[in-house]
Structure 1
Amino acid sequence: MSAPRYKRILLKLSGEALMGADAYGINRQTISEIVEEIRSVTDLGVQVGIVIGGGNIFRGVAPAATGMDRAQADYMGMLATVMNSLALQDAMRAAGLVSRVQSALNIEQVVEPYIRGKAIRYLEQGRTVIFAAGTGNPFFTTDTAAALRGAEIGAEIVLKATKVDGIYTADPKKDPSATRFDKISFDEAISRNLAVMDATAFALCRDQQLPINVFSIFKRGALKRVVLGENEGTLVYC
């Protein structure tokens, strides 16, 4: 078996990825399949940090949040990511994988607070670290949290797991002629106005020279192929 190209990665999972075919919430079968994808790279000795979004839970309460103060709504979203993080940790426990959840919000009765040095020590011990509650600040997305945590822990790459198998010249659902990029530079992605991540997260990754790989989490074995350096998804490089 080939040696992994990356020793430490930051995996960004959207909350919607946990829904499977459901309208909202967490699909147990789907989260179990995601855990097996994660196992496939931890078995290679790769250190894995994870940031999860909260859209699958917040979607269910979004109508009630209409007209709500933005900061208040963002804090609700952060709590949704804590719920997703706990669900992922439990699924990993059931699969025999050891993980720790660290939260940017102080809720020590539930999860431990985010401490950079402790997170790095967990990674070095072979434990997966799940970073909850985004950055802990309103107005910042979980994409930004992924870029920030990736830079803080010294990850070699941010892997953005989506429903699409990479970055295309146009929306492949709307334009059948759209083609996928194997790789693209940060500058070209900006000039083409490609929505890789939100602007803050994208700028942080570019400034820290932290590459991004966009791939489909629903494509079996895709995460492992990315980690092995194979042509999977789209690599955004400096």
Structure 2
Amino acid sequence: MSEANGNQPAPAYKRVLLKISGEALMGDQGYGLHPPTVERIAREVKSVHDLGVEICMVIGGGNIFRGLQGSAQGMERTTADYMGMLATVMNALAMQSALEGLGVFCRVITAIRMDEVAEPYIRRRAVRHLEKKRVCIFAAGTGNPYFTTDTAATLRANEMACEVIFKGTKVDGVYDKDPVRYGDARRYDDITYDDVLRDNLGVMDASAIALARDNNLPIIVFSLDEPGGFRGILAGEGTYTIVHG
């Protein structure tokens, strides 16, 4: 492996997309944003950015509002989904603030125009931001109802020519069943897209997995709660599952 900075091994990937849930930002509160947790995740992102890796992010909105949940409670689905998209913008702005507080240049780019708040999504402009080593946070999903932020993450990763999607979760990979509930749950080191879809393993929704499969885009599932885990995987260390063809 080549050397990046002194004795630091060159990272395994040059351009990546990090997908995290909105719930990851709420800490132990059960709702909303927990600033210390947002800052902790921002520090994880900065540690990878410091390696020279170009980073995109997509953050869910479930800590504030989830469209499917609203729809299940009787709200019209399209309206509920748009509300969920707005929640992702709030999370993206919080992460932008945390990253910039650490000295990382960052842009929030939304699929729904709100020019006073963030940039509209223009692919070539977003690619240029990445080339200038700015972190790009893609908000408001795809801009369309009925599509999840998992699908938005896979779409943007393909559009940005990312080499891999990092899916940060509360567990250190993909298991055959919920490891929190079942002590005999088995973790996979690697698994195929088709196996994830066939066994309904819940890595991402089916349309996101199919889009990744069709474009041969690997997905690395790892624990966001493990300090240094994001950077460690780029150095070839740590525990994770890779989903591939």
Per-residue CA deviations over 1:101-134 (Å, capped at 9, x if unaligned) read: 1000011111110111011100000000000000
Partner Cα distance (2:79, 2:200) in 1: 30
Unpaired stretches in structure 2, ≥5 consecutive residues: 1-7
8 Å CA contact retained: 1:213, 1:234: yes
- Return the letter of the residue paired with 1:43: D
Determine helix, strand or coil for the equivalent of 2:104: coil
Aligned residue for 1:71?
78
Quote how far apart the aligned CAs of 1:184 are.
1.0
Partner Cα distance (1:65, 1:194) in 2: 22
Per-residue CA deviations over 1:137-193 (Å, capped at 9, x if unaligned) read: 000000000000000000000111111111011111221011211111112223333
Per-residue CA deviations over 1:5-46 (Å, capped at 9, x if unaligned) read: 000000001000000111111101101100110011101000
Partner Cα distance (1:231, 1:90) in 2: 28
What is the Cα-based RMSD across aligned positions, in Å?
1.4
Partner Cα distance (1:159, 1:64) in 2: 29
Partner Cα distance (1:87, 1:187) in 2: 36
**Residue 237 of structure 1 pairs with residue 239 of structure 2:** no
Give the percent of matched residue pairs that are identical in Structure 1 and Structure 2.
Answer: 53
Aligned residue for 1:12?
19
**How many residues get paired?**
236
Whose relative contact order is higher, 1 or 2, with alpha carbons under 8 Å and at least 6 apart? 1
8 Å CA contact retained: 1:25, 1:56: yes
8 Å CA contact retained: 2:167, 2:221: yes
Quote how far apart the aligned CAs of 1:93 are.
1.2
- Return the letter of the residue paired with 1:191: R
Aligned residue for 2:5?
none
Partner Cα distance (2:18, 2:207) in 1: 18
Q: After superposition, where does 1:137-176 map in structure 2 within 5 Å?
A: 137-176=144-183
**Residue 47 of structure 1 pairs with residue 54 of structure 2:** yes
Partner Cα distance (1:183, 1:26) in 2: 33
8 Å CA contact retained: 1:41, 1:224: yes
Q: After superposition, where does 1:1-238 map in structure 2 within 5 Å?
A: 1-58=8-65, 66-238=73-245
Partner Cα distance (2:181, 2:168) in 1: 21
